[in-house]
Amino acid sequence: MKRFSALVAIFVTVFLAHSVALAQEISNEEIRNELKIFRARIDRLEQEVSRKDLEIEKLKAKVEKTSEAISAEEGQEKWIDRIELSGAIEVEYGSEKHKVKDPTTGKSTSSRDDDLTLSTVELHTDAQINKYTKGHVVFLYEEDEDEDRVRIDEGTIRLGGIKETYNLHFQAGKYYPHFGELNSWFISDPLTCQVFEIRESAAEAGYDGSWFSAVAGAFHGDVQKTSDDESRIKGFFADANIHNPEDTLGGISLLAGASYLNNVADTDTLQDEVNKITDYVGGVALYLVAEYNNLSFGAEYITALDDLRAGEMGYAIDRNGDAQETKPAAWNFELAYRPMDPLQLTVKYEGTGDMFGLFPEKQYGLCVSYDLFEFTTLSAEYLHGEYDDNQNSDGKVEDSRDVVTVQLAVEF
């Protein structure tokens, strides 16, 4: 617009100069008429320029809006790239046979339960928020426990754990604090897991090295001794282990470590049996997992470090119905062999100590797994367990049990 006005000014100046030169030949009236014509033309040109400027501004706004939409779409794609989904679906057939003794007559009776269940649906969501921050959520459904409800099994925020933070990390949320490795190649959870697994809202700090890892954390436990303030955080755990990177130790994969928990009564199974406790009883776990070529071996032992007093744990009742002290323990030994790529055979020997009639005192089993297709596995296992001579929660003396489980599972 400024350039156009300058041109008009130059044009008017030239025109006036020319008009002066021709003043003798052109009358004033003719000059006024010419100026009116030029002024009308200039007005029309200014209106046209204004219209064009308006069109240009509209085009600019449209381009900016399109650019913002493209940027938003690119940003959305980046978020999608940061999120990873994985999970599993497991369908099981189970048959369990129990032999129970009546403590008054000594006679044994047998019972059998068969079931077909959607045992597990699990969805893991991992989000790389930024270079230093990760989010992790696990949605879980288990037919025998959740009654057609999906629960948030884990939800954590993790900071660090990378080279820039010297492999130090901080984690907080709802998850399973590391107390024991609880490793198994069977369908069923090992007795170590059934007795001592713990899930809490917790916070931890740790170090993740290429050969060594350690972690320590705290949580507000559900089980506290009678003299403690229930509003205080009293649960503590720690774990340390050694593990070798790939392509070291001649192809052997090794994991060995130890864990500590200051209150074993807070584990998921034992807390349901607590009447009251007067003192915290700590626990320790020792574990080893080793693999070489097509052989795998796992060993673990978890025990309380002292006795829980008589009457503190509901399961600790002898065959006469009297409350007893208990020092719960569990162990598991497994050997897995893969004779060919899709087939794996696993044997185990496991047991418990001072668990009375709650779990088998000793148990052995066999598991066969076959990869039908990629990420699709058919497995079958057999377990035989033998109990001690104490009463269970039903007031009967459990003698033995035989469990057969067949599972079809997919992972994604």
E strands, 209-234, in order: 212-219
Query: CA nearest 344: which of 290, 409, 294, 408?
Result: 294
Q: How far apart are CA 186 and CA 118, in angstroms?
A: 17
At 128, give phi and psi (nearest 5°): -90, 95
**Displacement of CA 281 from its chain's centroid (Å):** 29
Helix, strand, coil percent values for the chain (each to nearest 5): 25, 45, 30
β partners of residue 102? none
Name all contacts of 399-404 with Cβ < 8 Å and 24+ positions apart.
399/98, 399/99, 399/100, 399/101, 399/108, 400/98, 400/99, 400/360, 401/96, 401/97, 401/98, 401/99, 401/360, 402/96, 402/97, 403/94, 403/95, 403/96, 403/97, 403/188, 404/94, 404/95, 404/96, 404/380
Distance, in Å, from the CA atom of 270 to the CA atom of 300, rounded to the nearest integer, reads 19
Q: What is the pLDDT along the chain (412 residues), one digit of tens a residue?
A: 544 454 445 544 544 455 444 445 566 777 777 777 777 777 777 787 778 778 888 888 777 777 666 666 555 557 788 899 999 999 999 999 989 877 677 677 888 999 999 999 999 999 999 999 999 999 999 987 767 789 999 999 999 999 999 999 999 999 999 999 999 999 999 999 999 999 999 999 999 999 999 999 999 988 888 776 667 888 999 999 999 998 899 889 999 999 999 999 999 999 999 988 999 999 999 999 999 999 999 999 999 999 999 999 999 988 888 899 999 999 999 999 999 999 999 999 999 999 998 999 999 999 999 999 999 999 999 999 999 887 776 667 888 999 999 999 999 9
Alpha carbons 263 and 164: distance in angstroms, whole number = 35
Under 8 Å between Cβ of 398 and 361: no
Q: What is the pLDDT of residue 214?
A: 98
Q: Specify the CATH class of 84-411 in words.
A: mainly beta
What distance lies between CA 202 and its chain's CA centroid? Answer: 14
Residue 126, helix vs strand vs coil: strand
272 three-state secondary structure:
helix
Cβ neighbours for 308, distance < 8 A, ≥ 6 positions apart: 265, 277, 281, 316, 325, 326, 327, 328
Domain boundaries of the chain, sorted by first residue: 2-74, 84-411
Residue type, 150: V
The tokens 């700590």 sit on which residue? Answer: 282
